[in-house]
Homo-oligomer: A and B are copies of this chain.
Amino acid sequence: MNPCTMASPQVDTDGDGRWNSIHNRFLSDAKGKEADVIFMGDSILQALEHTEVWNQWFSPLHCLNFSIHKDQTQNVIWRIKNGELDYVDPKVIVVHVGTNNVEHTAEQVCEGILEIIRTIREKHPSAYIVLPSLLPRGQYPNALRDKNSAVNQLLKEKVSNMNKVEMVSIDKGFIQNDGTISHHDMHDYLLPSNAACRKAFEPIYDLLQQILSEGEPEKDLTPSE
């Protein structure tokens, strides 16, 4: 059994029930708003919501952001199965999760993301699914960076022929010539700064605009890596 594909809530290790509170807030957010785009994932996307880039680019596109710090693939599957996408009719769902599955292999994480795609498809068969690649992490080269890179490669192959699923490379430019990541791009070597979000998420913004304004883009016209 692959733990990355089995729906499960995040364990409340702190004991203040915050994860469940946030999930419940997303449920009520979903009921009250008409969102064309839903972001779902981990702290990378959660942090994006608190940048200028979000206010300038994504907020005007009628986006909701259902992302939670530390979430792993199985947590996102649980949240989808427990209603977060039940009261919305999005045209696009943007998913970034997997970097927190630190105990799992690249193959397991890739399967977890594919399970998220299947779970979304059950709820929204015609919605477009956009997958920003997993970002590198850590100041110096490390096993998690290598694994995220491997997840990206595996996933790219798996989704290349899927209809209405588009993977977009956002991980370029973070690793400098000497192999380090600068704190200007990631102050904690995990979350992109506002300036880095602007670089990384511009192709996501472009693709969302294209999908929302023209409908489904032709597969061979979408941005290539």
- Chain A residues proximal to chain B, CB less than 8 Å: 13-18, 21-22, 25, 46, 50, 68-69, 102, 137-140, 142-145, 183, 187-190
The answer on a CB contact under 8 Å between A16 and B137 is yes
Give complex CA distance A15, B145 in Å: 10
Q: Which residues of B contact A46 (CB under 8 A)?
A: 188
Interface SS of chain A? loop
A189's partner among B22, B145, B183 (CB-CB below 8 A) is B22
Give complex CA distance A185, B15 in Å: 20
The answer on a CB contact under 8 Å between A25 and B183 is yes
User: A143 to nearest B CB, angstroms?
Assistant: 6
User: A50 to nearest B CB, angstroms?
Assistant: 7
User: A43 to nearest B CB, angstroms?
Assistant: 10
Beta-carbon nearest neighbor of A181 in chain B: B21
Knowing A21-B140, A138-B21, A140-B21 are in contact, say whether A16-B145 is a contact too (CB < 8 A): yes
